Structure 1
Amino acid sequence: MTRPRLVLLAALGATALGGCSLWAPPQPWEKGDLARPAMRLDADPLQARFESHTYFSKEAASGGGGVGGGGCGCN
């Protein structure tokens, strides 16, 4: 291998090994920070509810806005 490829491979390996902690679940002392209102995906819950209602009225379907379900359509 040439030297630039070896350096690039080493950098990618170090990045991959250093990023393993990114996929770990939050620790108990970190959950307070994640529960802050500023961490919400929707800043205004009422506006998000209105947009969801409008979207599903136009799509002629309901549900699918939250997390959960098996995906088989039987629940």
Structure 2
Amino acid sequence: MKPLIMLTLILLLAGCSSLGVKPWERDLLAQTDMQLVSDPIEASLDDHVYFSKEGSSGGRGFGGGGCGCN
């Protein structure tokens, strides 16, 4: 029974060993196409729309609507 538990534990730990970004993959992730927000002007316009709809709620963190006439 103990060898089975040890084997299971080793397999679980070995499955987590490949998490993370390798050093040779970082150049691909640094490209503008790979960014979450690739266009800062579009992101600022989206933020303005969210702020206008939320009113004084505090931006993206709260649900609800609004007229958006800001």
TM interval, shorter chain, is 0.3 to 0.5
Please, what TM-score do these two structures have when normalized by structure 1?
Answer: 0.44
Larger Rg computed on CA atoms: 2
Q: Which has the higher contact order (CA 8 A, sep 6+)?
A: 2
What's the TM-score, normalizing by structure 2?
0.46
